[in-house]
Chain A
Amino acid sequence: MIKIKELHKSFGSLKVLKGIDLHIKPGEVVVIIGPSGSGKSTLLRCINRLEETTSGTIIVDGYDINDTSTNINFIRSETGMVFQQFNLFPHMTALHNVTLGPVKVRKVSRTKAKKIGMELLNRVGLEDKANAYPDQLSGGQKQRVAIARSLALNPKAMLFDEPTSALDPELVGEVLEVMKTLATEGMTMVVVSHEMGFAREVADRAIFMDDGVIVEENTPETFFTHPQNERTKSFLKMVL
């Protein structure tokens, strides 16, 4: 599904990613953890080219995303992205947020988009908030709308960039619940998160990144109970 080879990314002289190799199979749920500044968000943002890669290749669903012949707008619509700060469109209702993609990118009719939108809002438990504007929603509700917005394009994979980090603790659960359902339905997911419980329960693989490289990867069970690398051990000791 996603194949990353020798990925390097620098911001000016600052090297953020220093050679990342990562294969993600269809339906796989991968959780990436690591200290801030380790490059995990940058890695995620490279996958749908919100950041340009410095060198290396990224293949998404068979398309080299940096190839000039690849339609990047199409690739982006195939990989949903959920942001830490939600980034809902504040001037649109929840439903309109969800239908914008189908109408403008997939070119489906408004009526059909509305139907898709209501189904998705229903799926994230917010059909009664369809006509609410983002500033009338709680953080958890906003994030669920944001997930619905991404799902509206029927993506092949979903990227989550710390989706619960900006939420009040009591609102984290409702978002994780939606993500869990998504995972069990077979969605390919790459999740940058520090939700260890979620990683343990849902992930197929846990990855620890530090200083721009993948330090360790394993099944969540082994990863959390028997970390091999010293840096992983000390990090996990701090957060668990």
Chain B
Amino acid sequence: MGFQFKYSVVWESVPILLVGVKLTLLLTFFGLFFGFFLGTAAGLGKTSKSRILNKIAGFYIESIRGTPLMVQVMFIYFGLPMALNTRIPPLVAGAVSIALNSGAYIAEIVRGAIQSIDKGQTEAGRSIGLTRFQALLYVIWPQAFKRMIPPWGNQFIISLKDTSLLVVIGVGELTRTGQEIIAVNFRAFEVWTSVALIYLVMTLSISKILIYT
């Protein structure tokens, strides 16, 4: 007997998977929201004249970019609580991991965008008497911000997919939900196809929105 694709499995799975989608989106939004602030701070630190800020930002960015997200998730959920003698809810650990991880990449986006603005802009700003901070705020940032939007969208898509790694700490997001359904009905092909298509719908939507910004 050949393999038979059962559409009924898809129709039965999708409503359950959508519950996982909710969590996937929640993790992505929260992760990126805090990642944005973290990344902006680290990105500014990297462009700052202060050596200390520079070093701190550099250490953060390099250590996150240089280690796998999976290890970071494990470290935050299993490692840290052990050392601190507490427990962290999986959802919080997941959001923190996404925030820390995306923050490092967003930092590089921010740094790159700021450094891509012509030096003459800062000089013109300073020459009318603006302080360093004012020149950054009124002259550089608005121009750099525009250039950050496309790479941010890219990071949005990456982080959204990265949440699937949180299965390892038992967060019931989309991928985990798929696994759970398969554990019951053993229809791996139909369920993974559904999961993949749902991810695709989400990422393609982001791409589409980005084109219009």
Contacts and interface: CB of A to CB of B under 8 A. Distances in A.
Interface of A: 48, 50, 73-74, 76-81, 83, 85, 87-91, 100-101, 104-105, 146, 149-150, 152-153
Task: Say which size band chain B's interface belongs to.
Answer: 10 to 19
Contact of A73 (B131, B138, B143): B131
A83 B127 CA distance: 10
Interface string B121-164: 10111111111001000110011001000000000000000000
Contacts of B126: 50, 73, 76
B120 interface: yes
7 pairs of A and B residues whose beta carbons are closest in the complex: A77-B129, A87-B124, A81-B127, A101-B128, A105-B129, A87-B120, A76-B129
Contacts of A88: 124
A83 B124 contact: yes
Contacts of B131: 73
B120 A76 contact: no
A74 B129 contact: yes
Contacts of B120: 83, 85, 87
B124 A91 contact: no
Interface of B: 118, 120-121, 123-131, 134, 138-139, 142-143, 146
B138 to A, nearest CB: 6
Nearest to B143: A91
A80 B121 contact: no
Given A85-B120, A91-B142, A73 B130 contact: yes
Majority secondary structure, B binding face: helix
Contacts of A85: 118, 120
A90 B143 contact: yes
B138 A100 contact: yes
Given A87-B120, A87-B121, A89-B121, A150 B129 contact: no
Contacts of B146: 91
Contacts of A73: 126, 129-131
Nearest to A78: B129
B77 to A, nearest CB: 43
Nearest to B123: A50
Nearest to B145: A91
17 contacts: A50-B126, A73-B129, A77-B129, A81-B127, A83-B124, A85-B120, A87-B121, A87-B124, A89-B125, A91-B142, A91-B146, A100-B138, A104-B134, A104-B138, A146-B124, A152-B128, A153-B128
Nearest to B141: A91
A150 B127 contact: yes
B128 A105 contact: yes
Given A87-B121, A104-B130, 4 more contacts: A73-B131, A76-B126, A79-B127, A83-B124
